[in-house]
Structure formats: C-alpha cells, structure tokens
Structure 1
Amino acid sequence: MEKNVSLSSNLWLLKKKRRASRVRVLMPEVYISAESLLQALIALAHQVMSCQKPPGCQRRNAVSITRKVKVLSVLFEEVRDLGISLPPSALNSFRELFIVLQKTKYLLEDCSSDGSCVWLFLHALEISNQFYGLIHDMAFALDMLPLKLLDVSDEVREQVELLHHQAKRAKLFVGQAEEKLGRDVSAVLDEFEKEIAPDESRLRRILDGLNIENAMDCQRETELLEEEIRNQKELRSEKNLSLINTLIAFMRYCKCVLFWMDFDPQFQLSSRTQSSGFSVDAYPIPEDFRCPISLDLMQEPVIVCTGQTYDLASITRWIKEGHSTCPKSGQKLVHTNLTPNYALQSLIVEYCAEHKISLEKSERIKKSSFSEGIPSTKAAIQAAKLTAEFLVERLCTRSFGVKKRAAYELRLLAKFGMDNRACIAEAGAIPLLVPLLSSKDPKAQENAVTALLNLSIYESNKTRIMESGALLQIIRVVRSGCSMEARENAAATLFSISSVDKYKKLIGESPEAVPALIDLLRDGTARGKRDAANALFHLSAFHGNDLQVVAAGAVPLLVNLLTDERPDLVDDAISVLALLSRQFEGLIAINEASGIPLFISLLRSASSSPKSKENSVAILLALCCHTGAEIVNMLLRMPSVMPCLYSLLTSGTPRARKKATSLLRILHNWVPSQSPQNMVVSQNQNPVTSVM
C-alpha cells in the first residue's frame, strides 16, 4: 500500500507544473542550520493552514490533515523559542516533516477550486489514498522524534503524542457522496457510449453535486478540464487524455442542454473573450508576453538554446517544418531542447488574472488545438453528436437571438477536435450558418464566419462550405464585415478553403475576392495582414490568379511589409512576392516598388529567417534574368551583395545555395557593355521558378 500511495502522490503532484508562480521548496540540505529549518517549517505550516479547503470533494480529509499540521506548527514554534540544540534524530524527523508538509500543501492546493471538480470526484479514491499516505508519512517522521530531549511543555508534548497516535491509527476515508457522484458520471458516459441521451434530471443532480449552477460554471469547468489535458500530456497518459476529452464533451453537452435559457445572447462573444466578458484587446498586451512567431499571447512560453522565448506550440511547429535556426535571432539552433520559462509564465498568469483575460487558445487555423490528436472515445463522439443536433435545431428557429447564441456555441464546439467538426457538419449546420454571414449584427456575423473557419479545418467540410453557396458571402465579409475580427476570420476561411486546388480557381474567378484580400492587407491588424497574405499565397499558386493579384496592386503593400518587425509577417509577405515573381508583370511591379534594397537587407540581417533569405535570393535571381541589365548593375554597385551571397553558400538552405550560386555566376560573368536586350526574357516565357 505504501508504495502505491507514493507513486500516486508523485503523479498527482506533477500535475501542478502548470502553476508557473509556484516555486518548489526543496528538502533542506544537510548543512542547513536548525534555526533556518525551524523557520522554514513554521512558514510552510502556516501556508498549509491557510490553504483554501475544497468546498465538496475531499473536504473532510483536508480538514483532518490541516488540524494535524496546526499541532505541528505549535511544536515548531515552541522548539524555536526554546533555542535548544537539536539532536540529530530530531533534525532528521523535522526534515521528513518538511517534505510531508510540502506535499500536503500541494495536494490541498490541487483539491481547491483551482482544479476541475469532476476530475477530482472521478479520482476520489486515488486522492483519498494520497491523504492517507501523507498522514502515515507524518507518523513515520514522528517515530524518529525524541520528544523527551526537546524539553517542550507538557501540553505540547501531550498534543504531539496524541497526534502521533492518531496518525499511526488513521484509516483511509472516502466519502460516500463522492463515490456515488463518480459512479453517476461514469454511468452517464456509458449511456453516451450506448448512444442513449442521458436523463436531464440525473444530469442536474450530478451538476448540483459539482456545485455547477449555470452556463458560465459549465464553461469554467470545461476550461479547467482543458488545462488538465495539458498536464496529462506532460505525463504521457493516453488513457487519462481520452477520459478528459470525454468529460469535456460531457460538460459541453450539459452547458447547451441544461443551461440554454439562462445565457444572455448579448454577452461579449469575441474569440479573444473569456467568461467574464473582458477581451484581450481591451488591454494592451506587453510585447514580451506575445510569441514572436504567432503574435498571440503565449500559453506555454519556452526558451530555446539561443535564449529567445517562444510559445511552445509555435516553436515546435517551426522546428518540425525543418528550420534549424532561431526565428528571432537567426542563430543556428545547436540543439532543440526547450526549457519552460516559468518566470515569464508566472508574469503572464498574474497579468491575465489582474485584467480578467482568459488564456484560451486562439481560433487560428495555423495554430493547433491542444486536443488535436487525442483519440476520441465513442462516448465523446456521441456527446458531440447530440450537442451538435441540439444546436442545429436552434439554428432552425425564427428567433434571431437564439440563432446568434447557437452560432456561438457551434463556434466553440468546432474549435476543438476533428470529430466535433464532422458531427456539426453531418447535423446540417453549414447551410444554416450561411445566412448569418449577411447579418448586420456584428457578433452574429462574427460567430457564423468563425464557426465556418473552424469547421473548414476538417477536409470534407471545405467541399460542404463551397457547395452551400457560402463563398460570395465570405468574400463580402472580408471586404466589408461588421468587425475587423469578422473580416480577418473570413480571410482565414478563404485561406483554409483555397488549400484545395480546384477552389483556388473558383475563388480567383470571383471579381471581389482578390480586391477584398488586398484591402485587408492594407488596413488590417497584424493578424489580419497575415491572414490576407496567406490567402493570397494560396490563390497565387494557381496560374492566372497571380496576374490578378499583381494587377490589383498587392505588390507595393507586400514590399512595404518587409520592413515590419514581426518575422512571421515578413515571411508571409515575401512568400507571396516569390510566387508573383514567376510572372514578368510581377517582377516589374516588384522593381517599381523599390523592393531590391529590402531583399538585400533581409539577406544581411541575422534575424531574417532561412525562408526569407531563400525567397529573397530567388526574387533577385529572377529580376536579374528577366528584367535587364539595370538590375545587375545595381547589385554590382552594392558592396554588401557579394558577402551575403557567399554567406548563403555555407549557411543557407539547399535551394537558397542553388539560387545564390546561379546569381553569383551572373554577377561574376557580367560584361558592363552587354546589351540589356540580351538579358530580357519575353513576357510570354516563364522566369526561373522561385522558392517558396
């Protein structure tokens, strides 16, 4: 039993890695003075006693162990005040008690309202075992304590001896109500698995036991379960991940079915909004809190070997794409180990708590959801299916407020998991969301277009969206949506849909699509400009669309973005320019926009990404080959060009090295009297393929 309790306790304590503000107090070293040890014990005991007691699950165990710690605190204070020299056995006992108190503190914090209630109830036996194990560890530590040698008062000695006796005789306690609630939750999940809709009265009893009284409580519990997924990912527990995913589906179902009527449709419903109604954008987010890659508020800041900090999801994706340099500094990554930046995460958590900002994930197609890749249970899929069917029924009503609320809930449901996206589409939601795109209500339009964006991540849904006739409405939202967020998410939807080759052509044939994206490229936020640039990139990959993008005036805007301080925005802009440089008209526009000095600047900069340098040299090569002697002469007059190209030969990507070699050959073999006409390729010919 003792071994099992220890393992369980370690597993539970690892869960709290997410709390960046926590500084683990390690066991005092052998050389620590008795006075310092006593001071640390007293401080830790008071921290344990001040821990918030859980409102329901484990309250009796929490109160019991806190009372025992209170007795120990009296002992520690009296020994300190006596100032006596502690014998070695007493020092060993106090060191063991220090570890017990440390674990007790963490366990009490985990059982407070800080964690998921339903997860605690499902693990009632396991957690009770942890309390039981800690009390027996306390008894073991007191076995070594020579009370008679400490010269404490009779009253204190009697209290400690009684505590010692009680701790040795302590028994495992598991509350009957807690066990029953856990069984009820398991029974409901079994009903979902059997494709049976649970009885609403039973669901209400379960939620009453969890102290969940309204839709916002349900949302809060869902967020806590989502946080638990991140903790369990660290522990690599596939079984727990699937179970938590199922519980999330259960809570979403309860939120919609049980609390539909007590939700205010006029509530703030931004993708950057959390339960309190405050938006991330309502307060200026410090730049140090934003990931240099995604520009989003960092969820899990990590440090790479160059000392730069990025969000875990963004830098992981960067490395998986084959990059071997630091995105911000351009330095080579000598290894890819990522170190959690707990200090920064603590500051972010405190800032968000102060300003009531949620740390929920961004609804961006380019940013993977924490739940993606977790195997879905049959129960989770059935719960999502029933939730989707419930919401689609509400979309069919005549009430605009009900439709608006349903669109929001579908937006949330589609945000996480391919199974959810499939269930929503199969329930018939997509055609019913399309009319809301033309709504004059900003939130209704925003919810509808964002729901479609989230749904479009599932490959089959791209076809469903196109067949629903949504394309024209999405394009109009890009151009003149009621809010900037609606416009940005509509552009991201075009980017998602245009990943299918046949839809590149259809989108390009719409006369409003490219101009709308270019308007957003000019007027949007940093995120909106990225969405527009990415959509233009996909569209420009189809022959004919690229000429349309050039003719619509995209090149000067893209060239201007090359001076932006955000590396991702620069990468996106130059990727589009590289595609446009395949056409003679694109090269002329790039030259007229004075882009050459900026390409050279990107080649020189240590902070430029390999992608930017690759595309820069490709565009310069295309300009030299297809626009005449003027460009070659200009490059020869720039003293920094040759060193940059030679540097690429050793540090660039394979394609960058190839392009640099070709460009160096042209520059070395250039004869100043050479006729410009000999260097120009007919406009009907294809220039050298650029690098993307």
Structure 2
Amino acid sequence: MIRESNESDRRLLTFPAVHPCEGISLPTLFTSLFTISSRICSFKSKVFSSNKKNARKAIRMIEVLQIFLEEILDQRWGVPDSVILSLSELHLTFQKLQFLLEDCTREGSRLYMLMESNRVATHFQVLSRSVVTALDVFPFSSTEISEEVKEQVELILKQARVGDFEVELEDKRAMMGVLSILNQFENTIIPSESNLRWILDHIGVRRWSECNKEIKFLDAEVGYERMKEDKGKLAVLSSLMWFMCYCRCVVIEVVDNGEDYPKSDCGKEREILNWCFNPGDFLCPISLEVMNDPVTIETGHTYDRSSILKWFGSGSLICPKTGKSLSSIELLPNLVLRRLIHRYCSKNGIPMADIGRRTRDRDNKATSQPGSFAAQEAMKMLASFLCGKLHNEAEVERNRAAYEIRVLAKRNIFNRSCFVESGTIPYLLRWLSSRNPTTQENAIAALLNLSKHPKSRSIMVQNGGLELIVSVCKKGMKLESRDHAAATLYYLASDEENRRLIGEEPEAIPSLINLLKDGSDRGKKNGLVAIFGLLFHPENHKRVLEAKAIPLLVSILKTCQREELVTDSLAVLATLAEKSAGAMAILQNGALHPTIEILNSSSTSRVGKEQCASLLLSLSVNGGANVVALLVKIPSLMGSLYSLLSEGTSRASKKASALIRVLHDFCERRPSGFKTPVLPQEQFVHVW
C-alpha cells in the first residue's frame, strides 16, 4: 500500500503519496491505515529539532484516530461508497504526514528544516485539515464505536478545524539568528561565538560528527540545485552549508570519531571496497570514462549525465545499450553509485579531478566560486581563523586546524585559493617535522589538497617544501603520510621546473621507488603517477633506472591483481622504453611476455591495452631487431593488435597500427629460409 521509506532518497517536503488501488477490500484498507498510523505514532519517541509542538499535535491526532480504527477494524457492516472514499483519502493523508515527520527527523537536515519552518508548519496545517475533510463524509452513525471514542474523534476534528499550526517563537528566533549571522558574513563581520553556539544547541547539534552530517546533507542539496540551475535556492543552501562549516571549525571543540576522521583501519576498509566492486562498472557506456554524475534512464541503465544528455541532444531517443525506444527522457540521479565512485576514488588515491578532462573542466567551473556572497566571505574568514590556529596555538589546536584545512581544501578550488592567500602553506610545511604522527599526517594531507592549486606549488618550493615533503615520503611516521607525500610530489611535478628540482633531490626518486616495494596499494598508486610525471623531464629517466625501478615495475606486471596498478606500471615502463637504455633494462628484466599476456587478456581495460601497445612499440623500436623477431613468432599478438584498431582508444589504435607496420616490415625484409634468431636470454629478455 505504501512504499518503505529510504533515508538515501532525495525526497524533501514533496510527499509522493499514492491513492489505494481501485477495488481494494475494506479489511486490506483498514490494515494498511492501521499500519501507517502506527508508524506515525512511533515518531512520538523521536527528536524534533524544530516544529516540535506542531509535530506533537499531529501525532496526538493520529493516536486518537488509531483508537477509532482499532474499534471498527473487526466490525461487520455494510460498506457504503462514502466509507471507501473517506478511508482512501485518509490513507493518502496519512502517507503524506508520515513523510513529513520523516523529513522533520531526518539525520543531517536539522538546520535546513529549521529554515523551512514556515513551510513545514503550513504542511502540518494542510494535512490536519485534510484529515477533517476525509472524515467529514464518514458515516459514524453506521458504526458501533463507543461514545467515548466518538467524542474524542469529534473533539480532535473540531480542534483541527479551528486550530493553527504556527512556527514556534524559539524557532523564529533561531531562524532570525541564522539570517543575521549570514548578513554578518556578507559584511565581513566576525559573528559572536555565543550566538553560533545557541543556534547549534537549539537544533541539537553538539558534536563534530553531527555538524559534519549537516554539511554533507546541505552539500548534496547544493549539488542537486546546481544541476537544476536554480540560482536562488543554490545561494540559500550554499550560505547555510558555510554557516555550518564555520560553526564546525569555530564552535565545536573536539573532533569525535566521525566517518571523515582518519582511522587506523582505513587500509582494511579500502581493501574491502576494492574486492566488492569492479571499477569497470564505474565507466559510462557512452564515453568509457569514470562517471562523475551517474544518472539512470527509463530502461534501468546508468550513464554519465553529460554523455546521455549529448546523446539525447543528437536526436537519439533510444537507450544506447539496449536500443529500446524511450517514452520518457527523465534522468534519475544514481546517488548510491555516485557515492561508491567517489569513495572508490578517494580510498585509492585517485583525485576526482583526474577522472577525465571533460568532467574536470565542468567541475572546475562549478566550484571555482561559492554559491553565494555570504558563503564566499565565510570561507575567507574561516581560512584566516585556521591560519591563526596554526601559528599561535598548542599542539592539539595546530593538529585540529591542519585537519580542518585538510577537509576543506579537498572540497573545491575556491577553498584552496582562500587557504593559499591566507598564508597557511608555510605553517603546514613547518609541522611536517612534528613528532606527533597525526599532526604530520594532517599537515601533509592538507598540503596534498592545496597542491592542486597552481599558485600553491611555487609557494611550497620557495619555502623549502621539497626537502620536507621528500623527507615525509621517505620516513613519514605513518604509512598514510608517506602516501600523501607521494601524491603531493605528483602534483608538484605538473610544473616543468619542479620536475627538475624534485629529480635533483637525492632522496626523492628513491623514496618513490621504495613505495612501490613497501607501500600500501594507495602508496604504490601515488608513487607510480609521481614517477610518471617526473619522467617528462629527460634527466629523470637515468635517475629512475639507477634507483632500480624496473624490477619492481615488472614484478607488479607479473603478480599484482590490481588493474590500475598494472596499467600505471605499464605507462611508466612505456615511457622508460622510449630511450634505448630503458628499453634494454626492461627486456633484461623479462617484461616482454607479461606485457603480451596482459594485452591478450579479455579482462584488461582499453587503457591497459593501450599502454601494452605503447610499451611493445617502444621496445620494438629501441630494443633492436631481436625483439621484433621474437614478437612475430607469437601468433596471438597480431589478433590483439588488430582488435585494438577497431575497439581501442584512438591513441591505442595509432600505437597498434605503428606496431603492425613494424612487424610487417620485418617479415617483408626477412630473406627466404631465414630463421629468426632467438633473443639471447642473458642480454635482453627472460623467456618463460
């Protein structure tokens, strides 16, 4: 009769109730009404942060009506049409009231529901009158209910007709307090901490984790309104979100064990996540890129929003996967999959900004500025506040400030810009030398997120950051700190001059190589991409070879089950193979046959196959004729290369085409009866 509530649904004050089906039996309708009324009455024990009196009044009304339903549930009497009509309308109203109460008690939405108090009170009023309307046609004279119950019902209905559901005075005061503080933000006035604390107390938010849930809820709503391009609602929600961000940093004194706080078992959580989900499921079937905004269409298949919109825009009103014609092009956000994708990227050290240029450009545009002037000024004030904490306070305060910067700098470009401008980087670099493992981790994680801002990289280098970051990468007190340091070096290496400077740091490349051997999967990933970035500077090729990277890279090809690590290792090897010294070292370490096996595997991704083709081409060009002679003797290779011509990426197709030409040219030049020499094992490659 009524769908189960789902906390993950994005349903706020919309109440998608449905009428009972036609021809429903009276006992079934009564049973469903009684079930819903019981659910409504169960809200009596829950906490309402606002509209408390209105909610209690509505629940009391349903409690009386539930007694009425209990008395008539087992009665045998004729069923006039007015009874079915009355109970059907009552059923619809009960559903809406249940949804309203769910919204009022929804976790993380307390500030939002406070600011919607006028609208919520109106909903209570309308639903109360709807109950009266539904029972106006009920034939009470045809039922055998007790006079006491009948009197209670009549009294409740009379009160509902004349009663008002108004916003409580304390709720009004809290709403005005929030608006006043937002106005202070706009005028760059620092709000009173006592006023902030009173508002948090009013809505029952007293812990860091509770405050963070409010921020996450509002952030999700901001994203939803941004997709709808409702600028007015977006500005309001952005302001409220930054109100809570400011409160979290300034008012809340202790970071409790919220889900965003670093945990010692994060590696185990990451491992579970990796085993449970196939990253291939995160690719859009149209663009073959990781989906940043997955949406589901009528057929139940999921695509990235921008890709499917382009598909529809071209006039193709069919499902790309099934070819089925669509009667509707409504897009439903797949929030569960979106969270899984973001969590997977986060746990594996894959910056969401690196999952595709198309996605990156759109996200940068969306987050380059906050949604309102109040949000903008609140963030600037918060950056200054946290910078002061880094400079002046005790160890516990410095650690807390570094953690908040870490969390906020991860969010978007504007936040990073504010922290860079406020001067936080020199202080964060200073605390990399802290003997407190948590402080060091939070400082390097904050620097990692800030390093995504172009201006921050030069500031880090100018303040002696390279040596400090390399030191953490080599001997950080926590494995997570070493992982973050490697990722920071990756972003620093995006600037050409920094590639040279990092390469000249004696311990930089060896530290990254050590991560490939002893680091976590995330550390290996960060080490690989950092090494790949450094190889754009020619002098670093020799340094990577001297650090004995190739045996570790080849070992990953042979033994690692993580596809992204194998793909990244192939990319590094392909770059090293562009020079003869690198190609010879790769052959000597037996990389040729594992590469061909990966290329021939049906489970290898298109990007992985592209890197295989690139590596094989470089080895063929720089490894000598003996390599080509060995490749032409492998029957399965040519089929895989021809498959890449039609099924691979554009770059893979070019690499495969070039390699095919090399193999054909070799065969054409080979004289009749010529026997291809076997590649000397001791000089070039170990043959399995």
TM-score past 0.5 threshold: yes
Residue in structure 2 matched with residue 61 of structure 1 by the alignment: 54
1:540 has 2:572 as partner: no
1:367 has 2:367 as partner: no
Of structures 1 and 2, the one with the larger relative CO (CA 8 A, separation 6+) is 1
The change in CA–CA distance for 1:360 and 1:628 in structure 2 (over 3 A counts) is closer
The change in CA–CA distance for 1:32 and 1:15 in structure 2 (over 3 A counts) is same
Contact 2:284–2:303 (8 Å) recurs in 1: no
Residue in structure 1 matched with residue 568 of structure 2 by the alignment: 572
Residue in structure 2 matched with residue 690 of structure 1 by the alignment: none
Q: Which moved more, 1:387-396 or 1:607-616?
A: 387-396
In the comparison of the two structures, how many residue pairs are matched?
632
Contact 2:432–2:472 (8 Å) recurs in 1: yes
The change in CA–CA distance for 1:657 and 1:416 in structure 2 (over 3 A counts) is closer
Q: Separation in 2 of the partners of 1:345 and 1:407? A: 28
Residue in structure 2 matched with residue 263 of structure 1 by the alignment: 254
User: 472, 476, 479: which is aligned to 1:477?
Assistant: 472
The change in CA–CA distance for 1:285 and 1:139 in structure 2 (over 3 A counts) is farther
Q: Separation in 2 of the partners of 1:481 and 1:340? A: 41
Residue in structure 1 matched with residue 580 of structure 2 by the alignment: 584
Contact 2:345–2:351 (8 Å) recurs in 1: no
**Aligned AA for 2:139?**
P
Q: Separation in 1 of the partners of 2:624 and 2:254? A: 66
User: 451, 464, 478: which is aligned to 1:456?
Assistant: 451
User: 29, 33, 49: which is aligned to 2:25?
Assistant: 33
Q: Which moved more, 1:152-161 or 1:279-288?
A: 279-288
Residue in structure 2 matched with residue 190 of structure 1 by the alignment: 183
1:646 has 2:642 as partner: yes
Residue in structure 2 matched with residue 48 of structure 1 by the alignment: 40
Residue in structure 2 matched with residue 492 of structure 1 by the alignment: 487
Q: Which moved more, 1:642-651 or 1:213-222?
A: 213-222
Note the residue ranges of structure 2 that are not aligned, 5 or more in a row.
296-301, 311-319, 324-328, 354-362, 680-688
The change in CA–CA distance for 1:647 and 1:451 in structure 2 (over 3 A counts) is same
**Aligned AA for 2:351?**
K
Contact 1:436–1:445 (8 Å) recurs in 2: yes
The change in CA–CA distance for 1:456 and 1:617 in structure 2 (over 3 A counts) is same
Q: Separation in 2 of the partners of 1:478 and 1:317? A: 38
1:123 CA displacement: 1.4
Residue in structure 1 matched with residue 246 of structure 2 by the alignment: 253
1:79 has 2:67 as partner: no
Q: Separation in 2 of the partners of 1:148 and 1:634? A: 97
Contact 1:218–1:251 (8 Å) recurs in 2: yes
Secondary structure in 2 aligned to 1:547? Answer: helix
User: 617, 634, 646: which is aligned to 1:621?
Assistant: 617
1:519 CA displacement: 0.7
User: 60, 81, 86: which is aligned to 1:93?
Assistant: 86
Residue in structure 2 matched with residue 129 of structure 1 by the alignment: 122
The change in CA–CA distance for 1:676 and 1:433 in structure 2 (over 3 A counts) is farther
Contact 1:93–1:141 (8 Å) recurs in 2: yes
Q: Separation in 2 of the partners of 1:497 and 1:321? A: 32
The aligned runs of 1:382-461 (5 Å cut-off) are 382-397=377-392, 399-461=394-456
Q: Cα deviation per residue 1:426-482 (whole Å; 9 max; x = unaligned)?
A: 222111111211222211110111111111122211221121111111011111110
The aligned runs of 1:508-527 (5 Å cut-off) are 508-527=503-522
User: 486, 501, 516: which is aligned to 1:506?
Assistant: 501
Q: Which moved more, 1:333-342 or 1:404-413?
A: 333-342
Q: Separation in 2 of the partners of 1:203 and 1:233? A: 27
**Aligned AA for 1:263?**
V
Contact 1:136–1:170 (8 Å) recurs in 2: no
Residue in structure 1 matched with residue 627 of structure 2 by the alignment: 631
Contact 2:211–2:248 (8 Å) recurs in 1: yes
The change in CA–CA distance for 1:676 and 1:426 in structure 2 (over 3 A counts) is farther
Contact 2:49–2:105 (8 Å) recurs in 1: no
Contact 1:86–1:150 (8 Å) recurs in 2: no
1:211 CA displacement: 3.0
Q: Separation in 2 of the partners of 1:343 and 1:377? A: 28
The change in CA–CA distance for 1:657 and 1:343 in structure 2 (over 3 A counts) is closer
1:290 CA displacement: 5.5
The change in CA–CA distance for 1:159 and 1:509 in structure 2 (over 3 A counts) is same
Q: Separation in 1 of the partners of 2:346 and 2:183? A: 30
Q: Separation in 2 of the partners of 1:496 and 1:343? A: 30
Q: Cα deviation per residue 1:89-114 (whole Å; 9 max; x = unaligned)?
A: 32233233222222222221221261
Q: Separation in 2 of the partners of 1:35 and 1:254? A: 52
Residue in structure 1 matched with residue 594 of structure 2 by the alignment: 598
Secondary structure in 1 aligned to 2:73? Answer: helix
Q: Which moved more, 1:662-671 or 1:640-649?
A: 662-671
The change in CA–CA distance for 1:86 and 1:395 in structure 2 (over 3 A counts) is same
Q: Separation in 1 of the partners of 2:240 and 2:369? A: 13
Percent pairwise identity: 33
The change in CA–CA distance for 1:124 and 1:452 in structure 2 (over 3 A counts) is same
Structure 2-normalised TM-score? 0.81
**Aligned AA for 2:22?**
V
The change in CA–CA distance for 1:474 and 1:661 in structure 2 (over 3 A counts) is same
The change in CA–CA distance for 1:401 and 1:178 in structure 2 (over 3 A counts) is closer
Residue in structure 2 matched with residue 200 of structure 1 by the alignment: 193
1:16 CA displacement: 5.6
Q: Separation in 2 of the partners of 1:216 and 1:288? A: 26
Secondary structure in 2 aligned to 1:17? Answer: coil
Q: Separation in 2 of the partners of 1:66 and 1:610? A: 58
1:490 CA displacement: 0.7
Q: Cα deviation per residue 1:62-98 (whole Å; 9 max; x = unaligned)?
A: 1111122223323333333125454443223323322
Residue in structure 2 matched with residue 8 of structure 1 by the alignment: none
1:609 has 2:605 as partner: yes
The change in CA–CA distance for 1:633 and 1:36 in structure 2 (over 3 A counts) is farther
**Aligned AA for 1:559?**
V
The change in CA–CA distance for 1:34 and 1:280 in structure 2 (over 3 A counts) is farther
The change in CA–CA distance for 1:401 and 1:504 in structure 2 (over 3 A counts) is same
Note the residue ranges of structure 1 that are not aligned, 5 or more in a row.
1-12, 295-300, 325-331, 349-357, 680-692
Contact 2:390–2:402 (8 Å) recurs in 1: yes
Contact 2:472–2:485 (8 Å) recurs in 1: yes
User: 266, 273, 276: which is aligned to 2:261?
Assistant: 273
Contact 1:55–1:113 (8 Å) recurs in 2: no
**Aligned AA for 2:166?**
F
The change in CA–CA distance for 1:375 and 1:251 in structure 2 (over 3 A counts) is closer
The change in CA–CA distance for 1:587 and 1:319 in structure 2 (over 3 A counts) is farther
1:659 has 2:655 as partner: yes
**Aligned AA for 1:415?**
K
Q: Separation in 2 of the partners of 1:665 and 1:202? A: 74
1:207 CA displacement: 2.9
Q: Which moved more, 1:645-654 or 1:207-216?
A: 207-216
The change in CA–CA distance for 1:575 and 1:232 in structure 2 (over 3 A counts) is same
Q: Separation in 2 of the partners of 1:418 and 1:231? A: 19
1:165 CA displacement: 3.6
The aligned runs of 1:278-357 (5 Å cut-off) are 280-281=266-267, 286-287=272-273, 292-293=278-279
Q: Cα deviation per residue 1:589-644 (whole Å; 9 max; x = unaligned)?
A: 32223222333233333332221111211221222233233323332332221221
Contact 1:93–1:142 (8 Å) recurs in 2: yes
Contact 1:581–1:619 (8 Å) recurs in 2: yes
Residue in structure 1 matched with residue 103 of structure 2 by the alignment: 110
Q: Which moved more, 1:67-76 or 1:480-489?
A: 67-76
